Structure 1
């Protein structure tokens, strides 16, 4: 079953969020933009700026961890720009 690694961007916070999901990506985005406790819960303006479809959850989680390990906003922006998306 395909799983998606994704990057969200919040203009209000000027921050990125990296995650993965086996659910429909737009449904996952709706959950991020709902008022809930947690990193994405308060602004409600998150948008999908990057997605990558992988073959299974293990690969998607590995890719999520790889991107998070960069700890570089510039490197994340280059990944997004290279994909044809932009924040």
Structure 2
């Protein structure tokens, strides 16, 4: 099953959020409806990066790598974007 690692940005809070999911459209809706406790205060969130991987294990590895590097720095260093 394909998974997507994603980075969201909240202009309201000037913060990034890194996550992974098997349904990016549904997950983004949940974030922006305030249904995810860790992102509720930052709505609305903009999707600024996605990368598809083969499975959840790969998604978790990439998620950890991005968080360790820092989402903003990871995007800038790799010039990724949606």
Say whether the fold is shared (TM-score over 0.5). Answer: yes
Q: TM-score, normalised by structure 2?
A: 0.86
Deviations along 1:1-59, one digit per CA (max 9) or x if unpaired, are 11000000000000000000012x12101101123462201232101000000000100
Aligned positions, number:
82
Give unpaired runs (5+ residues) of structure 1: none
Query: Alpha carbons of 1:72 and 1:42: their partners in 2 closer, same or farther (altered >3 Å)?
Result: closer
- Equivalence for 1:14: 14
Give unpaired runs (5+ residues) of structure 2: none
Larger proportion of helix: 2
Query: Alpha carbons of 1:37 and 1:56: their partners in 2 closer, same or farther (altered >3 Å)?
Result: closer
Dislocated runs of 4+, deviation >3 Å: none
